[in-house]
Amino acid sequence: MARSTSTAAAASGLLAACAVLLLFAGQSAATTFDFPFIAIFPSVFPTGSQSPPTVRIYSKQNTGLNMAVLDGKVLWWKILAPTWVGYGYWLVNVATRQAMAPPAYGMQVQLVDFNPLINGKQWLWVPTAALDGGVFYQIKAYTQYSKALNGLGGYAYDGTVIGIYPDTPASPNTLWITSTDFPFRFY
């Protein structure tokens, strides 16, 4: 019985992996994927597969800035997770192919090598409904849902450290939008 259970679990895992890859294959954009784990499934991900649309992440507190490292020109792929993984999306840095990962409480977000087949749930982010009567919302950590992305220190300025912190109150440094508009259009 144990052997058939582990075989069924392995088959289920392979099926799930194929579903993630099919999700990627159905996305569209102008750049191509070259993630190392894609080579495992060449029939699903032929060379030159299209990538998801790119976005920037803006804070309500200062829409002139976007969540970036160094030069403020970071683009992210916002990759929707299939329902069997969990509700939410991964934020993957286009240049480094690394996912934004929730850190320990009150610490700076981290970038980790992206492979949704390994610990994919731990890197998921979940949007809330718009909390400001407009378009900005909190982006919560899937595995730490009571915590949200936060401009640590209470204000968004050039050089603000982004981390996770309790999601209340919903102040401007905890409200975000992912947008394909560059630069961001004020709403």
Q: Is residue 159 one of the residues assigned to a domain? A: yes
pLDDT score for 187: 53
Amino acid, single-letter form, for residue 74 = V
pLDDT score for 34: 52
Q: Is residue 108 one of the residues assigned to a domain? A: yes
Which of 179, 181, 176, 166 has its CA nearest to residue 62? 176
Does residue 102 sit in helix, strand or coil?
Answer: coil
Number of domains making up the chain: 1
Q: Do the beta carbons of residue 66 and residue 74 sit within 8 Å?
A: yes
Q: Is residue 186 one of the residues assigned to a domain? A: no
62: confidence class by pLDDT, cuts 50, 70, 90: confident
Distance from C-alpha of 97 to C-alpha of 75, rounded to nearest angstrom: 11
Q: Average pLDDT in the 113-128 region?
A: 85
Long-range contacts of 66-74 (CB under 8 A, 24+ apart): 66/184, 67/162, 67/176, 72/158
pLDDT score for 140: 93
Domain limits at 65? 53-179
Q: What is the CATH number of the domain that holds 91?
A: 2.80.10.50
